[in-house]
Structure 1
Amino acid sequence: MDDKVMDLLGKILENQTETSSQLKELTSRVQKIETKVEHDLGHKIKALFDAREVQNEKNDTIINTLERIETKIEILQMETAHVRKIK
């Protein structure tokens, strides 16, 4: 009877050791995946931020150009109104 119990305990210990080894391997893989995902997301977020900055600069340029055009149109409207009064 003692031999059967010892064999059973030996098998349980062997299974537990194997399970522990598999868990360590799985943990290592998960950490590698987490690192890769964090790295990839970091690059993608930086790219989005850079694209946003470029778009903001373009928007500012367009707004400034529109303001200059608006000013020129207002001046032309005043000149046209002045010319109409003279006629």
Structure 2
Amino acid sequence: MEEKILSILGELLKGQEELRNDVTALKVGQEELRSDVTALKIGQEALASEVTHIKLTLENETNVKIQALFDAREVQKDVNQHIFTELDQIKGKLDRLQIETAHVRVVK
């Protein structure tokens, strides 16, 4: 009987030791998970920062390019207006020359 009790106690101690080992392994695993989650958070923050930087850079570059296009369009409008004004002057001169030519033909 005493041997049986000692045997059962031995098994209980062995089981308790296995439980301790399992709990220790769980704690180690949990700590690894914590460090992995921390690393993921840090990585995510870095990515968010990079995305924000890229977004701001693109916005700035796009704004500069749009402004350049707008300025070029305004300059082209001014050039076109100048050309139209010159064309109107040329048309006026051409009309006067046609009238003078027609008058000279009639007089001859």
TM-score by length of 1: 0.96
1:45 is aligned, of 66, 91, 94, to 66
Within the candidate set 81, 93, 97, 1:72 is matched to 93
* Identical amino acids, percent of aligned pairs: 36
Larger deviation, residues 37-46 vs 54-63:
37-46
The structure with the largest alpha-carbon Rg is: 2
Gaps of 5+ in 1: none
User: What amino acid is aligned across from residue 59 of structure 2 in structure 1?
Assistant: E
The structural deviation recorded for 1:37 is 1.1
List runs of 5+ in structure 2 lacking aligned partners. Answer: 1-21
Aligned: 1:29 with 2:47: no
Separation (CA, whole Å) in 2 of partners of 1:70 and 1:13: 84
Runs of 4+ in 1 over 4 A off after TM superposition: none
* Mapped partners of 1:35, 1:79: distance in 2: 66
CA RMSD of aligned residues (A): 0.7
CA distance, structure 2, for counterparts of residue 43 and residue 20 of structure 1: 35
- Number of aligned residue pairs: 87
